Each structure stands twice: as C-alpha cells, then as structure tokens.
C-alpha cells in the first residue's frame, strides 16, 4: 500500500519547528511493510491544504494528515478539505460532549472556540483523542483512505496507535518484526565500527542517535511471524555479544527504569548528591512511576555551604582538593548515603560551563562516585558539548554508573 | 519570492532520519521575508524526483533541493533532473580537480564513483563545497532558480551560506521584523480567545505550543526596517496589555532565566524543597549558566523521613494533614529556607501518578508554597496529564510562582 504523509502549519514552513511527526508515522508504516512515497508540508492556507490533500489522495492509497485541528483561527484543515471535496460539516454532539468532559476532567472551562473541534465532515468519523481536545477524523476521499490527526505529537501518537495502526495492520501483507536495542556509553561511530560485520540473519539494522543514547533498530520481514522473529532474535543476540553491557535495554524502557528494576529486585535504595547535574539525576530517577520505592532522597548542593550542611563534606576536603575533585565526589556520595540510610549513595561534581573552566579542570570535567556499605568507587570523565548536553551526559553517566555497579555486584 | 524546499532520500521516507534541513533552510528564507510555500520529501527514485522538481519549479520562484548528490548508486538527483529537463550532463574538469584535491587533503584515495559528482547539467554551475566532495549546483529550470545541495547538514549549511544566501539577500525586497512573546499560565485556546480581536498593526501572529508554554510569534513585513519594527512593537504592546503577566519574556529567554534575572537584580537567593517534582525544579533553575549565584540548594525529599531530616517538617504535620497538603508544602518551604539561609524557600508536594491518587487527592493534585522573611503563601492546583507532563507542569508552575511573587514584591 502506498502512503503519503501531509503535515500542515506555518510554523513548519517558517522553520519554527522541525516536523518530527512525518518520520514517526513513516517508521510505523514501514515496520508493517507499507511504502511511504512522499512527505509534504504546507502552511495554514486553505487553498494549499486542499490542493495538497487532493493531489495526495489521487496518488496514494492512504493519506495521513497532521496539524490544523486545534481551536484557533489558523487551524483550518478540516474546513479546507470539506470545502474542497464538497462535504458538509456536521457538529457531532458526542464529540462535543467528550471535549466538554475533557475540560471538566482537567478542571478548566471550555472556550467557545473549542466547539469547532466537534465538526466532522459527512461520511467521516471521529477518532477518539484521550489526551487532548481535537479528535482525529477518518474519511475516504477519492480512492484514498484519509486520516486527519492533530499536530501535537502526543495526541497524534495516541490517536495513531489506537485508530490508524489497527487498520494499517489489517491492510499489511506478510509478517514483520522490529526491535530496538538501547545503548549507552559508546559514540555512534564506534558502535558502527564494532557492528560493521555483525551477522544480521536477514534483518535490517539502522541507527538512531537519541543523545546521549544510541538506539539500534532491527527490522525483519518474512512470510511468517516466526521467521521474522527468528531473524530479529538472532541479529539481536549477535549484536549483544559484540557490544556487551553497552546494550542496556530494549524497546521503550529508559535507562533510569532499568536501574530502578535492578534496585527493586535487590531490595536496595539510592540517595543522590548532585552538584553540576543540578537535580537532573533525581529528576530522571523520579520520572519512573513507583520510584519512591527505591529513590530515598536527592540533594542539590550547589554551594559549598550546602555540601557541608547537607552532606557533611568537610571544609578541609573542599579546600585541599576543590569542590570539583575525586575527593569531593567521594565525600558527597558517602555523606548522602550515611545521612539518608540508603543502601547506595552517588554523587556528581563537575563543570557544565560555559563559565568556570580552568586549564587543569576545563568545562566538561566531571567527577562522580558511588558508595555502598562495602566500598566507594570514583570516576573522572572529560566530555564535550554545551551546558545542556553536558548536564544530561553527566546525569546519564551517573545513572549508568549505578547499573554497572549492580551488574558486577 | 515563493520558495519550495525538496529533500530526497529513502531514509527520510522510512523514518530512519528526521529531516532537519527543511526547517533550517526555511528559517533562513523567512528571516529575509521570502515565503516558503511547501516542503516535499521523496525517495531515491528518479521518476519521483523528476516529478517533484518539475512540479515545484512550475509553482515557485526558487526551489532548493537537498540530498542525492553523493557518490553511491542511490544518489541520483542530478541525473534524474537532467533527464527530465532534457539537459546534457558535462564533466566539469575544475570540479573534478577539486574533488581530487579534497581526497588528497584528507589523505584518502578518490573512488571511481566520485567522478559522477563532477557532472554538471548544461546551463548550470557548480557551487563550491569546502567540507565535502559533492559541489552544489545552481541551474534555472523553467521560471525557477533551482539550487541542488548535499543532504549532509554541515555540507548543506556551508554551501547554502556561501552560495545561496547571497542571492536570496539580493532578491529580498522590503524589510521584515520578527519577535517571539513567551507565555506561561494559560492554555492555547484561552490565549487565542483573549487575542482574537487584538490589534496587530499589520503584523502577523502565530501560535506555537512548547508545553507547558505558549509562544506567540509576530512577524511584520514592510518597506522599511523602521515600519516593520513599529508594527511588531505596537502588536507586542497590545498583546502584553491583554495578557498581562502571562507574557513572561521574549525571544529565546526561558522562564528559569527570567526568574534568575529577577533574583539577581534583587540580590536574593532561592532554595527548593521538592517532593512530586523530584528534582526537576532544581534542574530547570540550574540549566541557566550562572545560576549558582542565586540557586542556593535543592532537596528532593521523596520519603517522609527525608522531609523530617532535611527540612525539619514535624511528624505531627505530616500525620495530621498527609504529605500532600497545604500544611506540608508550607512546612517544607519554611524548612528549606530556614536551614539554607536563602531569601526565598519554595516547595512542592503532590501526586504525579499514575499511582497514588485517592478520591480526595486525585493524580494531578499539587500543593506548593513560597516563603520569605515576610510571609508564606500556599497554592493548590489540579492538573491533567501523564506523569511526565504533570512533573513538568508542577515544576514550571512553581518557578512561575517565584516570578509572580517577585513581580508583586
């Protein structure tokens, strides 16, 4: 089946936002063996939208449109298409009630302008939106099955998975299997080199950088589900053998979740003392539902005073070695563990920049430490990048330090 | 001038990579007042490429194409276009010499396949590539000036800036001015309603949701720089009057930065006690370079024990009201201020879900407090969304609480 993807919005054509929806949808289509033949983006202009939908629905078997379903005046996709195809718009009372419900649930008043989100073209049907106000719409235009979805990614994802994907699966021929292996700790080029001659058993391998992680995607297509799964299983096993513990997980499971599972399995708790990461480690740990079971506390000790008061780091240690030092990181980790009673204490201290670097300790320098009842280990790294990237890289490296510690326990 | 942007490559249509070139080029064009009317992406297929270039060159004054100039068999853009437009390809000896030179400089042998990168369609001319092998090509097709550029972003950027931008500047007529107003605290629909009849003085207004913020972008075009600026100034003033302190800043300045400036101006420091936000407030504050001047410390007190030990919250307060309560939030804020010596203490306690909700305190409930030497204020909110969104919304609302407190100081 040939599929075209159309995204609408002045903000795309003006370069204010990067269209990520087209790639997301394409990947889903491709995994089912459908062929995406074109992406088109047009602005919030009714003639352009009508022309683009008309042309796409003449060429493709399926057209997936995102954007322009919001409540504001520049959200005009549905009106433009209805006018172009001579379809009447009808107020769908059930949809209107759902929009009202949504506002009730989030404790807000529905604006008058939201009413237009309940207008559905004749012959079309609404696709439920569980996370926002605008429903999607499915309608046949010419020979093409057309799906209209919101431009807001999380709303698009939900409606696509619930209401578009099942239809795409029905229309798919043959079997396919896809898997994502998640890696942390090596750059893309190094991973690429290590895997240059890895046996893929008929699967296709592609790389995606989701800084600071590298995601490896395997896809196999075959006559049968079992064949496709076998290819992916064999390729995944070969990759894991090459990369060892650089592969930390699969699918959607993020690193803090993997570490959280490991902590829970071992009935251990963790406490975090952060300087340069400024709360980002704690925030990543607590992004995981149920993290209160193993995340005991976090301390963001930016000032030396806070390091002394909250962590019991001695002024002597700070004076003799500086706040960015192996000794300070170890004292911080030991302090947060001792004061919290957690099984594991970890700490970071470093220079995220742009200021604060010196020839001996340039921006990108970080010391981190992990401590338990048995022993304390410290690590030093020098990374490159701007403040935001460095904070994230420091934080994820610290979380991965816990994973590697627990693996070797 | 109307411009269309065409990107080519199977990896775009398969969703393996996200096309960032189109947004990058669009922003450059838009800042000169040119209108980008369409983005199209097609695969490495000569018919699709020829059809797309043909259609774009019939509609637009300028077409910018990226991708398919490499040395491999699937790099077919130039051949496809030359064939479609009946143009002969000629080997450009000067270009070939430059490609040879490039390989010499990086110490590699030129492959035979690189020779095709020196093929230029008749009537066209090469655009020097200083960072790679494939030159860009400029050629008039029909009424449109067409630029063919490599898909590799750094090569595209260099050739665009050196050889396309100067021409776009020559072709630009009139002046333009753009400005972004950043809003927090109202949903898009409500802002849209409030601004439905705001006088824009000739400027154009567009909305962009960057959850949980709403960005308002104003663009004005005019004969003179002064006129364009005057339009944007007047529209921005009218919007600010309507929205009041919902507009927290302009341009790229994020909310924690605005609050940071206010704290620094007042020579005040802040300390943060977080439960449900799990370090995210501290992380946002410390995303700003130089935040160590006013960010004294953060405490992530997930457990009741941590609330008592790190913040001096009494067990009586927690028992009588629960950890998610107005009283707990106030005691946490007062505790972190007292223990840190900061001028301002803030605290959050709430339920980010998905578990932990009760009928009285459902998921999305949050209490927050701010305290200074003068007084303590507490706020309660009920928000909707998943854990990730709730954490972010709680955190940004708390940071905005500081802003509003300081405005009214």
**DSSP string of B320-343, one letter each residue:** HH-SSSHHHHHHHHHHHHHHH--S
Query: Does the model's pTM come out above 0.80?
Result: yes
- DSSP 3-state assignment of B130? coil
Residues B136 and B215 in one domain: no
What are the residues facing B368 on neighbouring strands? B348, B379
Q: Helix-strand-coil percent breakdown of chain A, rounded to 5?
A: 45, 25, 30
The b/e string for B261-287 (b: 16+ C-beta within 10 A; e otherwise) is bbbeeeebbbbbbbbbbbbbbbbbbbb
Residue A327 pLDDT more than 90?
A: yes
For residues B403 and B307, membership in a common domain is answered with yes
Is some CB atom of chain B closer than 8 A to the CB atom of A272? Answer: yes
Q: What pLDDT shows up at residue B73?
A: 83
pLDDT band at B143 (very low <50, low <70, confident <90, very high): very high
Domain boundary at B111, B143, B171, which?
B171
| Residues B82 and B221 both lie in one domain | no
CATH of the domain at A243: 3.30.70.2860
pLDDT of residue A230: 97
Q: Do A74 and B207 touch (CB under 8 A)?
A: yes
CB B177 within 8 A of CB B232: yes
Q: If pLDDT is split at 50, 70 and 90, which confidence band does B106 have? A: confident
d(C-alpha A60, C-alpha B51), whole Å: 15
Number of Cβ pairs closer than 8 Å across A and B? 278
**Lowest-confidence region among A27-31, A147-151, A244-248, B136-140:** A27-31
Residues 354-373 of B with CB under 8 A from A: 354-355, 364
> Would strands B204-210 and B144-149 be described as parallel, antiparallel, or unpaired?
unpaired
Which of A8, A28, A29, A39 to probe by mutation at the B interface, max B CB count within 10 Å? A39
Number of separate helices (H) and strands (E) present in chain B: 15, 17
Which of B13, B188, B309 has its CB closest to that of A70?
B188
What is the distance between the alpha carbons of residues B268 and B266, in angstroms, rounded to a whole number?
Answer: 5
- What are A168's two structure tokens? 């795409």
CA distance A203 to A178: 9
Instruction: Tell whether A298 and A393 lie within a shared domain.
Output: yes
Residues in A touching B272 (Cβ below 8 Å): 300
Flag if B279 and A296 touch (Cβ within 8 Å).
no
Measured in angstroms, the CA of A278 and the nearest CA of chain B are apart by: 5
Structure tokens at B233: 């100034």
- Contact at 8 Å (CB) between B28 and B165? yes
Q: Is A41 on the interface with B (CB under 8 A)?
A: yes
Q: Where a domain ends, among A200, A231, A250?
A: A250
Contacts of residue A340 in chain B, CB cutoff 8 Å? 305-306, 309
Q: Does B46 touch chain A (CB under 8 A)?
A: no
- A 204-223 → B contacts, CB under 8 A: 206, 208, 217
Q: Kindly determine whether residue A286 and residue B298, on different chains, have CB atoms separated by under 8 Å.
A: no
Nearest CA in chain A to B280: A283
CA distance B164 to B157: 10
Residue B279 main-chain phi, psi, to 5 deg: 105, -5
Tell me the chain B residues in contact with residue A274 when contact means C-beta distances shorter than 8 Å.
Answer: 279, 282
Percent of chain B with pLDDT over 70: 100
* pLDDT, tens only, B288-309: 999 999 999 999 998 888 999 9
Query: Is the domain of A88 the same as that of A140?
Result: yes
Return d(Cα A255, Cα A399) in angstroms, integer: 8
* Rounded Cα distance, A287 and B347, in Å: 18
In angstroms, the separation between the Cα of residue A86 and the nearest Cα of chain B is: 24
Q: Is A112 exposed, middle or buried (0-12, 13-18, 19+ CB in 10 A)?
A: exposed
* A17–B23 C-beta distance less than 8 A: yes
Task: Assess contact for A280 and A391: CB atoms under 8 A.
Answer: yes
pLDDT digits (tens, 9 = 90+) for A55-82: 999 999 999 999 999 988 889 999 999 9
Residues B360, B366 contacting (CB under 8 angstroms): no
pLDDT at B173 over 90: no
pLDDT at B31 over 80: no
Question: Are B125 and B259 in a shared domain?
Answer: no
Q: Under 8 Å CB-to-CB from B403, ≥6 apart: which residues?
A: B245, B248, B255, B258, B259, B262
DSSP β-bridge partners for residue B252: none
Nearest to A300 among B43, B279, B388 (CB): B279
Q: How far apart are CA B7 and CA B147, in angstroms?
A: 12
Say whether A15 and B26 touch across the interface (CB within 8 A).
Answer: yes
**Which residue in the set B11, B38, B272 is minimally distant from A40, CB to CB?**
B38
Given this model, what pLDDT does residue B192 score? 92
What percent of chain A has pLDDT above 70?
A: 100
Q: B15 and A23 in contact by Cβ < 8 A? A: yes
CA distance B167 to chain A (A): 19
Asked if B290 reaches chain A (Cβ–Cβ under 8 Å), the answer is yes
Q: In this complex, do B15 and A38 lie within 8 Å of one another by their Cβ atoms?
A: no
pLDDT at A278 over 90: yes
Candidates A148, A22, A35, A81; CA nearest to B40 is: A22
The single residue listed with the structure tokens 């992916």 is: A232
Out of B224, B250, B276, a domain closes at B250
Q: Count CB-CB contacts under 10 A for residue A354.
A: 12
- Please check whether residues B231 and B273 belong to one and the same domain: no
Distance CA A126, CA A118 (A): 9
The per-residue pLDDT for B303 is: 85
Q: Is the pLDDT of residue B219 over 90?
A: no
Q: Tell me whether residues B192 and A71 touch, CB distance under 8 A.
A: yes
Q: Up-side HSE of residue A346: CA atoms within 13 Å toward CB?
A: 26
Residue B13 to residue A98: CA distance in whole angstroms: 35
B20 part of contact set with chain A, CB < 8 Å: yes
- Give the pairing type, strands B344-350 and B270-274: parallel
A139: which residues sit within 8 A by CB, 6+ positions away?
Answer: A87, A121, A123, A124, A125, A146, A148
Find, in chain B, the residue whose alpha carbon is nearest to that of A116.
Answer: B189
Cβ-contact B246, B183 below 8 angstroms: yes
Smallest CA–CA distance, residue A53 to chain B, in Å, is 13
Verify whether the Cβ–Cβ distance A300 to B278 is below 8 Å: no
| Residue B354 preceded by cis peptide, ω within 30 | yes
pLDDT given for residue B133 in this prediction: 87
Mean residue pLDDT of chain B comes to 94
A298–B287 C-beta distance less than 8 A: no
Residue A194 has a pLDDT of 92
| Secondary structure letter of residue B388 according to DSSP | H
Q: Residues A156, A6: contact at Cβ < 8 Å? A: no
Per-residue pLDDT, averaged over B175-202, amounts to: 93
- Confidence category of residue B109, pLDDT binned at 50, 70, 90: confident
The structure tokens listed for A8 are 């609408």
| Same domain, residue pair B190 and B246 | yes
Q: What would the mean pLDDT of A370-398 be, rounded to a whole number? A: 95
- For the four alpha carbons of B90, B94, B99 and B104, in that order, the dihedral sign comes to positive
Residue window 57-116, chain A: list those with CB within 8 Å of chain B.
70-74, 102, 105-108, 111-114
What's the pLDDT at A165?
Answer: 97
Per-residue confidence band for A209, with pLDDT thresholds at 50, 70 and 90: confident
Q: Is the ipTM of this complex over 0.85?
A: no
Nearest to A72 among B188, B364, B391 (CB): B188
Q: Which residues contact A353 (CB under 8 A, 6 or more apart)?
A: A363, A364, A386, A387, A390, B289
Identify whether residues A189 and A138 lie together within a single domain. Answer: no
Given A19, A279, A296, which is nearest B280 (Cβ)? Answer: A279
Of the candidates A41, A48, A298, the beta carbon closest to that of B279 is on A298
Contacts of B66 in chain A (CB under 8 A): none
Higher pLDDT, A172 or A209: A172
Distances (CA, A) of A136 to A38, A65, A120, A156, A364: 21, 10, 9, 8, 45
- Please tell me the total count of domains within chain B: 3
Q: Can you tell me the distance from the alpha carbon of B249 to that of B246, in angstroms, rounded to the nearest whole number?
A: 9
List the end-to-end C-alpha distance of chain B, in Å, as a whole number.
50
Peptide bond into B389 cis (omega under 30): no
Beta-carbon separation of B38 and A36 below 8 A: no
| Cβ-defined contact of A279 to B289 (cutoff 8 Å) | no
User: Would you place residue B361 in the very low, low, confident or very high pLDDT band (cuts 50, 70, 90)?
Assistant: very high
Tell me how far apart the alpha carbons of residues B10 and A37 are, in angstroms, rounded to a whole number: 9
Burial of B241-250, coded b for 16+ CB within 10 Å and e otherwise, reads ebbeebbbbe
Q: Residue A40's beta-bridge partner residues? A: A6, B40
CATH number at residue A346: 3.90.950.20
Q: Is it the case that residue B405 has pLDDT exceeding 90? A: yes
Task: Return d(Cα B331, Cα B273) in angstroms, integer.
Answer: 10
Spatial separation of the C-alpha atoms in residues B199 and A368, rounded to whole Å: 55
H helix or E strand, kind and range, residue B317: helix B315-321
How far is A117 from chain B, CA to nearest CA, in Å? 11
Residue B295 · residue B371 · CB < 8 Å: no
Greatest pairwise CA separation for chain B in angstroms: 87
As a whole number, mean pLDDT of residues B53-57 equals: 97
- Confirm if B385 and B396 have CB atoms less than 8 A apart: no
Q: Judge whether residue B270 has pLDDT over 90.
A: yes
CA dihedral A266, A269, A273, A274 (to 10 degrees): 70
Inter-chain touch A300–B286, beta carbons under 8 Å: yes
Confidence of residue A391 (pLDDT cuts 50, 70, 90): very high
Beta-carbon count within 10 A of A407 CB = 10
Tell me the angle at which helices A304-311 and A326-340 cross, rounded to the nearest 10 degrees: 40
User: For B332-353, what is the mean pLDDT?
Assistant: 97
Quick one: pLDDT at residue B87?
96
The separation between the first and the last C-alpha atoms of chain A, rounded to the nearest angstrom, is 51
pLDDT reading at B355 higher than 90:
yes
Q: Which of A84-93, A199-208, A325-334, B262-271 has the lowest mean pLDDT?
A: A199-208
Average pLDDT over residues B270-299: 97
**Contact assessment for residue B198 and residue B239, using Cβ atoms and an 8 Å cutoff:** yes
Chain B: nearest CA to A292, how far in angstroms?
6
Q: Are residues B301 and B399 in the same domain?
A: yes
Task: Give chain B positions within 8 Å (CB) of A14.
Answer: 26-27, 30, 36, 206, 217, 219
Give dist(CA B280, CA A308) in Å, integer.
23
Task: Assign B206 a pLDDT band (cuts: 50, 70, 90).
Answer: confident
Phi first, then psi: what are they for B23, rounded to 5°?
-65, -40
Q: In what order do the strands lie in the sheet with A213-222?
A: A204-210, A213-222, A175-184, A247-250
List the domain range (segments joined by +) for residue B402: 255-407
Pair A309, A194 in one domain: no
pLDDT confidence of B227, banded at 50, 70, 90? very high
Interval A33-48 mean pLDDT: 96
Cβ pair A21, A155 in contact under 8 A: no
Query: With bands split at pLDDT 50, 70 and 90, how would you rate the model's confidence at B18?
Result: very high
Distance, in angstroms, between B91 CA and closest chain A CA? 31
Q: Tell me, rounded to whole angstroms, the distance of Cα B297 from its chain centroid.
A: 29
Within this chain, do residues B190 and B273 fall inside the same structural domain, yes or no?
no
How is residue A374 written in tokens? 């048995």
Judging contacts by C-beta atoms under 8 Å, the chain A residues touching residue B189 are 70-72, 111, 113-114, 133
pLDDT at A81: 95
Name beta bridge partners: B126.
B137
Contact B366, B381 (CB under 8 A): yes
Which pLDDT score is estimated for B204? 87
Per-residue model confidence (pLDDT) at position A174: 85
In terms of average pLDDT, the best of A29-33, A156-160, A303-307 is A156-160
Q: B135: left (phi > 0), else alpha (psi -120 to 50), else beta?
A: beta
CB contact under 8 A, B15 and A37: no
Q: Do A41 and B39 touch (CB under 8 A)?
A: yes
Question: Cβ A299–B300 below 8 Å, yes or no?
Answer: yes
Q: What is the pLDDT of residue B108?
A: 80
């Amino acid at each position: 089946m040939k599929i075209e993807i159309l995204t609408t919005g002045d903000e795309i054509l003006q370069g204010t936002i990067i269209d990520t929806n087209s790639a997301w949808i394409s990947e889903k289509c491709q995994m089912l063996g459908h062929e995406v033949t074109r992406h088109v983006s047009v602005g919030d202009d009714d003639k352009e939208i009508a022309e683009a939908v008309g042309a796409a629905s003449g060429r493709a078997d399926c057209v997936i449109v995102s954007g322009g379903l919001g409540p504001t005046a520049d959200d005009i996709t549905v009106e433009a298409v209805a006018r172009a195809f001579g379809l009447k718009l009808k107020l769908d009372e059930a949809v209107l009630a759902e929009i009202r419900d949504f506002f009730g649930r989030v404790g807000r008043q529905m604006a008058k302008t939201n009413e237009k989100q309940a207008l559905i073209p004749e012959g079309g049907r609404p696709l439920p939106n569980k996370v926002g106000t605008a429903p999607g719409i499915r309608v046949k235009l010419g020979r093409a099955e057309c799906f209209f979805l919101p431009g807001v990614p999380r709303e698009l994802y939900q409606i696509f998975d619930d209401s578009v994907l099942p239809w795409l699966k029905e229309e798919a021929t043959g079997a396919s299997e896809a898997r994502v292996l998640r890696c942390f700790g090596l750059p893309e080029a190094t991973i690429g080199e290590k895997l240059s001659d890895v046996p893929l058993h008929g699967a296709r391998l592609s790389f995606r950088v989701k800084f600071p992680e590298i995601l490896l995607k395997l896809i196999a297509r075959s006559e049968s589900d079992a064949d496709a799964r076998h290819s992916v299983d064999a390729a995944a096993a070969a990759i894991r053998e090459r990369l060892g513990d650089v592969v930390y997980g699969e699918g959607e499971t993020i690193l803090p979740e993997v570490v959280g599972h490991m902590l829970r399995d071992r009935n251990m708790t963790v406490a975090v003392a952060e300087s340069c990461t400024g709360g980002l480690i704690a925030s990543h740990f607590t992004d995981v539902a149920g993290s209160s079971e193993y995340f005991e506390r976090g301390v963001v000790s930016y000032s030396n005073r806070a390091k002394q008061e909250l962590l019991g780091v001695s002024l002597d240690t700070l004076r003799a070695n500086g706040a960015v030092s192996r000794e300070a990181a170890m004292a911080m980790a030991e302090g947060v563990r001792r004061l919290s009673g957690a099984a594991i204490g970890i700490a970071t201290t470093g220079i995220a920049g742009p200021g604060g670097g010196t020839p001996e300790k340039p921006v990108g320098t970080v010391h981190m430490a992990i401590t338990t009842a048995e022993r304390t280990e410290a690590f030093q790294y020098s990374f490159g990048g701007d403040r935001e990237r460095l904070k994230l890289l420091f934080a994820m490296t610290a979380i991965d330090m816990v994973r590697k510690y627990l693996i070797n326990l």
